[in-house]
Structure 1
């Protein structure tokens, strides 16, 4: 088995991932944006007997390699084979931390963070069925809000910067963690930035990052006025239709916590999204 580091360019990477559902952190644009923010990124292709088995993108620091939402498996492999690939990736000076999309327990995988649940909204059904799949109360609130809410695209860099700053202040006040908001400014792939204007300023907004046939709900902010008007309901519905029109099949609405964040979990699941579990975060032993 060979691990070929930084062997592929942007075109080669995307050619191998075409038509596959991949997580945000395995998209080339994610690595490109994190590099712009000062991170060190490594990309590898795993090969055995001339057959490419997997692609993986990692963040690297001295003595640490972090692998999230991957590897992306390029062929059918057993759980044992997948675990062996992760253990080969861990053969370096330092620790390797991995959070694969599915659990890969067993020898050499030492879990230390429990699995996280995510709300994933499948956008495949036609708009009528997509709306019918919503929770009744969510759909009723959406219908009421649509009567007076008009969602617009935020195309100006200054508007995106304003939204990132507002969400950053909200993050600090509420004490939750997220990827750096500036990642959206450096995102070289497709993205969707939506807003609601009021009193000459952005009163609410959402940012979605597109990666292959999937997209991720990256950040959102709303003023008190926007929250009272359920603005994020029409905004999320508008995003679903727009993303579906761009060929996106699945929208990851982010982590859900039915205890600490019950209200946000209800908002996400009320769309009709399903629950998808990632594997536990593990220390991988070489």
Structure 2
């Protein structure tokens, strides 16, 4: 009897939508799936996708971000065997892995060298409106209720490269010194995936006061950008935008909204805001590097060094 499984839920960097945007920008990607394992023959059990980058001092580097993705099954995917074949067949040069779900011991056995400790994401479960509202923190819900009475007018529109959100958010990222997907990538994603790149915008007395960008990719969606002007902050526009986006995405069949990295140290207010939606903390697996020259030494690292 087949082991019970949930469908493969692909984060943004592992999605075909992301690959199409990369291709439009001239970035090389490659990937594949592993199908069939024992009695589960014919079903996808594992998916992977890499992008090529050129980094100073390292040259051509392959990036495997938040992969490989495995099904949530009683029977685990054969990761050791997959890594052995994948690493033997890949091009020469370094491989950077932003791990998500792969046990550290598997990575050590495969010869990966740990570079950075794990970060955490906020993942919001999407479903019936009553359940999503019940999961809201009380203060978040109160602010949403006030925003719904504030006179804000919302609209949903296809993301365009000339929308004011993109350059405004890019300037905000520079000023606050954080990294985000650049406007050019968002525009390429929208062009390569019609209907999968959306903006929710809030206006007050006809003037735009806040907006968010959301990328859709299979069972998941990702909140990638957001800007709130002073009038938007006072009226709770961001609460209303995210609530309406979550309601719409749930109605379209999406199961999760990825709200991005949690950074309690540098952005405690944003972290509190994200978790107030009822989002779950999802801990990633850290950043690792694989090179053929270092792999034998990496395999001999003590376990404490990889935590």
Using the size of structure 1 for normalisation, the TM-score is: 0.84
Partner SS for 1:161: coil
In structure 2, the CA distance between the partners of 1:271 and 1:156, relative to structure 1 (3 Å rule), is: closer
Give the aligned partner of residue 245 of structure 2.
239
Partner SS for 2:183: coil
Task: State the 1:262 CA deviation.
Answer: 0.7
Contact 1:155 1:193 in 2 (8 A): yes
Task: State the 1:215 CA deviation.
Answer: 0.6
Query: Please, which moves more after superposition, 275-284 or 195-204?
Result: 195-204
Task: State the 1:151 CA deviation.
Answer: 1.7
Task: State the 1:82 CA deviation.
Answer: 4.7
In structure 2, the CA distance between the partners of 1:45 and 1:121, relative to structure 1 (3 Å rule), is: closer
Task: State the 1:88 CA deviation.
Answer: 3.3
Give the aligned partner of residue 84 of structure 1.
84
**What is the alpha-carbon distance in structure 2 between the residues aligned to residue 217 and residue 178 of structure 1?**
11
Q: Deviation string for 1:65-84 (max 9, x for gaps)?
A: 11101123368424533543
In structure 2, the CA distance between the partners of 1:236 and 1:53, relative to structure 1 (3 Å rule), is: closer
Residue 151 (structure 1) aligned with residue 139 (structure 2)? no
Give the aligned partner of residue 164 of structure 1.
166
Contact 1:63 1:93 in 2 (8 A): no
Residue 175 (structure 1) aligned with residue 172 (structure 2)? no
Unaligned runs of 5+ in 2: 1-5, 54-58, 293-307
Partner SS for 2:130: helix
Give the aligned partner of residue 103 of structure 2.
104
Residue 58 (structure 1) aligned with residue 50 (structure 2)? yes
Using the size of structure 2 for normalisation, the TM-score is: 0.78
Query: Please, which moves more after superposition, 169-178 or 97-106?
Result: 97-106
Give the aligned partner of residue 297 of structure 2.
none
Unaligned runs of 5+ in 1: 1-17
**What is the alpha-carbon distance in structure 2 between the residues aligned to residue 252 and residue 261 of structure 1?**
17
Residue 40 (structure 1) aligned with residue 57 (structure 2)? no
Number of equivalent positions: 266
In structure 2, the CA distance between the partners of 1:227 and 1:85, relative to structure 1 (3 Å rule), is: farther
Alignment counterpart, residue 252 of structure 1, candidates 247, 258, 262 = 258
